[in-house]
Structures are given as structure tokens and as C-alpha cells.
Amino acid sequence: MGRSIPLVEKEFVTGFRQQKEWAGLIASAFFFGKVGSGLFIMSVFLDSWLGMLVGLLIVLCGKGGAHMLYLGRPLRFWRGMSKPGTAWVSRGIWAMTFMMAAGFALLALPAGSSLYMPLAVFAVISAFVVAVYDGFLLTSSPAIPIWNTALMPVMCMFYSFLGGTTMVMFMSHLGLMPLSEKFTGLLPNLEIALLVANLLIVLLFLIGSINTGSAGRESFDLLVKGPYAVPFFSLAIGVGLVFTLLMSVFGGAHAGAGTVALITVADLVGHFFIFFLLLKIGVFKPVLGFLKI
């Protein structure tokens, strides 16, 4: 059936319609949210004050800023906290608020404070929710079949960990995050493992998307055959995962700051584009999909 129904824009005809409202700024918010919270979580485990600060600032300024720029009525943003019981947007705002409050309190605590551990646990849990809620937000939208997969939050989680690991590697090479030898050796291996995991998740997502009905198939075609195929295969997969993986395996963290900087840029480019493209390919089903001759 999907093959006989066109993809339409604003015309007064029935057909699949691409969602146009969530694009660049929402993708930026997702991107900054995941990279910032990933860096924050990693920094708490590595006990890096500066890493935590940078992570918090990325989430606050990057994610918060992108959301504020996107909102039609930004001064009403506080109203978005009204319905955490049913709305993932509300849950996300609350998680961000908790992460900021606990994170900055953690930074202000004196060394050896008894409050450090409970605050750190609370901040990490909040940061984790910030990292994955985008996935639940997309999954909870019944209108766009390609987003309705349990892999979405998993993908968000792994991309967040990958972004965080890459940023930690980058900052430690700049001398901003002094790490013990144990962690210096562990990070490149963790990076490779996360890149492989992300590749597998994207592959599973694509395989699963083929059978998500006619609108899901339309989205899949847009991504792998249509206008978004070039940025998807070149930037999201090629640069973001394959190139990064090859550089990590054959160059790695030991190849110098230039290589690590290249890995970081490539990883972040891929990270942004995968979620940007996933938003762009969202397709609504035709209202009366059953009409056939």
C-alpha cells in the first residue's frame, strides 16, 4: 500500500507527510543534552571537578539554550514542569533541574564532605535521565512509527556514553582532566567498545525499521535511499562511527592530541547528524490509509 501513496507537502491531497516542526534546534538540544550528561557522568566517576563543570555547562547553555530558542513562547518554559506524570518533556525539564541543582551543589561541596556521595548518586541518576529521556519522548509519540521503537532510549544512552567518553579523552589530552594510568589505558578501549555498540544499535534500528508499517518504511526509504541518504551514510555513519572507529583502533588515544581532536570532532559530527536525520525522516501516516481502488 505504501508504494501507491505519495509523500506530500502542504498540498490538499492525502498521503504521507513529513514532520517539519522538530529539526535543527531540537536535534541540537538532544545533542548537547547527551554529550553534556555523558561527560558529567564520566567526570563524576573519574572525580574530575572541571569535567563535571563543563558537562553541566554544556547541558545548561547548549541544551537549555537550544530549547529556549526553539520554544514559541520561551518565557512560559516553567509551565513545562506541570505534567511529569504523563509528559516526557516535563520529566526532562525536571531531570535537567535536578541535575543542575545537584551538580552545582556537588561542585561547591568541600573535599571529604559526607554529602558528596548521596549528592553524586542523585546527580548521576538525573544526568542519566537527561541522557535517555529524548528517546522515551520520541518513542511515546504514536504518530510517527519509525520513532516507536524501544531502541530509541538505548541509542540515546549509548550515544551519551560515547560522547562523554570522547570528551573525557579530549580533555585529558589537553591536560584539563588529569587521569590515573589505569583510566588512561582504559578509555581508548571503552571508546572502541562504545563505537562498536553504537554501530550495532544503528544497524539493529535500521533492520527493525523496515517492518514498521508503510509510514515507517517511507521513513526508512528517506534515510537510506532518499534525500537524507548522503548525510546519513557519509556523516552519521561514515564520519561519526566508521572513521572514528578506524582512527581509534589504528591511531588511538596514544597517537597524540591531534588524532584525539580529530576523533572528537568526527564523533560529535556523527552524533549530531544521526539524531538530526532521525527527526527529519519522521513521517505521519495518511489519515485514511485504507482507501484503495
Partner 1 sequence: MRYGMVIDLKRCVGCQACTVGCKAENGNGPDIMYTKVLDQVSGEYPNVRKQFVPVLCNHCKDAPCVRVCPTGATYKREDGLVLVDHDKCMGCRACYVACPYNNRIFLKRGKLKTGYYGKEMTPYEQVKYPEHQDGIVEKCKFCSHRIDAGLTETSCSQTCPADARIFGDLDDPESKVSRLIRSRGGRQPLCEDDTDPSVYYLD
Interface residues toward partner 1, by CB under 8 A:
4, 10, 12-14, 17, 19, 21-22, 70-74, 76-77, 79-83, 86-90, 93, 137, 140-144, 282, 284-285, 287-293
251 by Cβ neighbours in 10 Å (0-12 / 13-18 / 19+) ranks as middle
Please report how close the Cβ of residue 17 comes to partner 1 at its closest, in angstroms. 5
Measured from the CB atom, is 89 or 261 closer to partner 1?
A: 89
Please report how close the Cβ of residue 285 comes to partner 1 at its closest, in angstroms. 6
Measured from the CB atom, is 194 or 283 closer to partner 1?
A: 283
Please report how close the Cβ of residue 275 comes to partner 1 at its closest, in angstroms. 14
Give the H or E element holding residue 284: strand 283-284
Please report how close the Cβ of residue 143 comes to partner 1 at its closest, in angstroms. 4
Please report how close the Cβ of residue 87 comes to partner 1 at its closest, in angstroms. 4
Q: What are phi and psi of 283, to 5 degrees?
A: -125, 130
Measured from the CB atom, is 25 or 192 closer to partner 1?
A: 25
Please report how close the Cβ of residue 93 comes to partner 1 at its closest, in angstroms. 7
In sequence order, the 6+-apart residues with CB closer than 8 A to the CB of 242 are 199
In sequence order, the 6+-apart residues with CB closer than 8 A to the CB of 184 are 172, 253
Rounded CA gap, 59 and 235, in Å? 23
**CA quadruple 261, 263, 264, 270: dihedral, nearest 10:** 140
Give the H or E element holding residue 138: helix 116-139
Owner of C-alpha cell 535537567: 96
**CA quadruple 9, 281, 65, 76: dihedral, nearest 10:** 50
Owner of C-alpha cell 545533542: 31
Measured from the CB atom, is 131 or 279 closer to partner 1?
A: 279
Measured from the CB atom, is 158 or 220 closer to partner 1?
A: 220
Is 8 in contact with 253 (CB distance < 8 Å)?
no
Please report how close the Cβ of residue 9 comes to partner 1 at its closest, in angstroms. 12
Rounded CA gap, 218 and 278, in Å? 13
Measured from the CB atom, is 82 or 113 closer to partner 1?
A: 82
Per-residue CA distances from 22 to 5, 14, 186, 238 (Å): 24, 22, 37, 24
Measured from the CB atom, is 16 or 272 closer to partner 1?
A: 16
